Amino acid sequence: MRDRKELSVLKRIVVKIGSSSIAHKNGKPNLARLEILVKELANLRSRGVEVILVTSGAIGVGNNRLGFLKRPQTIPEKQAAAAVGQGLLMHIYEKLFSEYGVTVGQILLTKEDFSDRRRFLNARNTLYALMNLGVIPIINENDTVAIDEIRVGDNDTLAALVGGLADIDLLILLSDVDGLYSCDPRTNKDAGLISEVLEVNEEIEALAGGAGSCLGTGGMATKVQAAKIAVQSGFIMALANADEKEVIQKIVSGESIGTIFWPQGKMEHKKRWIAFSSTVQGKIIIDKGASQALLFKGKSLLPSGILGVDGVFEIGNTVSVVESNDREIARGIVNYSSQDIVKIKGCQSEEIKNVLGYQDYDEVIHRNNMVSNV
Ligand code: GLU
């Protein structure tokens, strides 16, 4: 067991609260819960901890205000609900935080704000500026404009991406479950709460709804996905029940509640962006030898190990590097377009110039621009 006391010295934290914790079953905001949440966050802030809040609930609260009896099915209706609900939520947050003299600022993001490197850096500058000014940034997905293709899709993943963007120490996901269980606690009496996870591996993913799952809820799958981003990026993630009294205070003072996912190393910024934020534009299929070299020897990808290409991509795009059985080995930024890789696949690096008439790089993907085992 790792010592949870580490949690008491952390300096920058993202707290994400889920829709079911923000609103009552009838869709109206749960003011008592929000009041407690805000008090806890303001208290952290006054201790000198930098805090970012990722809030859900805009669509739910908006539905209720607009008198929709069930969740709207059409995209414009959902977007209308988000527009109304987001305003309502911000009004509540502003009011509650101002009681503690804390200023809040809203940031609404979509997937493109993470995948476009320029927008990513821009969003980061804004976040840092707000935190330097002592403001608590309140973040949600920009649901009023985001259609499926440009959505992150769920706020657990959004919160983990924000964590990477802002270089945080800890992500706290507050939900309506106590943590990660060994089995579905609703149907299995023997289910035990897993208090810490040292490695987010296939076994842990299976617990959350993958193959062989006994807890097949979408809700847990996105939480484990968020944990994967957190631990590989290099920050801690805590999953706990928003209903627990003083839950945030308990987590940051190292009390034994919820599930803690411990980091598995720290990825540099650029690699973090390649692994989790950039959009994958195609695939490069490689042979076994190349796969071993990437996975175990930290090598760059050379043309000689390439069997083929899937999709059309340009120099500078991110691609997925897969074995012939489609298993993803790595992700990286290419030095050659898909068109040119088709021509040089299987060649030695010295032959590139003969085949293409130019040779800007020996490697198709340099190891500095590649992340293996994503
Ligand atoms: N962005 C959505 C909302 O505010 C919530 C998405 C989620 O809960 O994962 O309604």
- Residue-wise pLDDT for 42-97, tens only, equals 999 999 999 999 999 999 999 999 998 887 878 899 899 999 999 999 999 999 99
Nearest-CA residue for atom 5 of ligand 1: 56
pLDDT for 74 equals: 87
Query: Is residue 217 predicted with pLDDT exceeding 80?
Result: no
Instruction: Work out the average pLDDT over 299-325.
Output: 96
Query: Is residue 216 predicted with pLDDT exceeding 50?
Result: no
| Site to substitute for ligand 1 among 141, 144, 174, 222, most atoms within 8 A of C-beta | 141
Q: What is the pLDDT of residues 270-294, one digit of tens each?
A: 999 999 999 999 999 999 999 999 9
Share of the chain above pLDDT 90, in %: 78
CA of 309 to the centre of ligand 1 (A): 36
Beta bridge partners of 370: 332
Please state, as a whole number, how many other Cβ atoms lie within 10 Å of the Cβ of residue 221. 19
Assign 214 a pLDDT band (cuts: 50, 70, 90). very low
Q: Could you please report the per-residue DSSP string of 61-99? A: HHHHHTT-SS---SHHHHHHHHHHHHHHHHHHHHHHHHT
Instruction: Work out the average pLDDT over 37-41.
Output: 97
Architecture of domain 4-271: 3-Layer(aba) Sandwich (3.40)
Architecture of domain 279-372: Roll (2.30)
Q: What is the pLDDT of residues 146-159, one digit of tens each?
A: 777 678 889 999 99
Helices and strands, number each (H, E), in the chain:
14, 15
Nearest-CA residue for atom 2 of ligand 1: 56
pLDDT for 219 equals: 78
pLDDT for 338 equals: 98
Mean pLDDT of the chain: 92
Query: Residue 268: CB partners within 8 Å, gap ≥ 6?
Result: none
Share of the chain above pLDDT 70, in %: 97
Where in the chain does DSSP place strands (E)? 12-17, 50-55, 104-109, 136-141, 170-175, 180-181, 193-194, 196-197, 236-241, 259-261, 280-286, 306-310, 318-323, 328-333, 370-372
Kindly give the residue spans of alpha helices, DSSP state H, lying in 253-346: 269-272, 288-297, 338-344
Point out the least confidently predicted range of 36-40, 44-48, 370-374.
370-374
pLDDT for 281 equals: 95
Pocket lining for ligand 1, CB < 6 angstroms: 18-19, 56-60, 140-141, 143, 154-155
Q: What is the pLDDT of residues 2-19, one digit of tens each?
A: 889 989 889 999 999 999
Beta bridge partners of 371: 331
Task: Round to whole Å and give the CA distance between 164 and 374.
Answer: 15
Query: Is residue 210 predicted with pLDDT exceeding 60?
Result: no
Please state, as a whole number, how many other Cβ atoms lie within 10 Å of the Cβ of residue 307. 14
Q: Break the chain into its structural domains and give their ranges.
A: 4-271, 279-372
State which ligand 1 atom lies nearest to the alpha carbon of 222.
9
Q: Decide if 311 contacts 283 (C-beta within 8 A).
A: yes
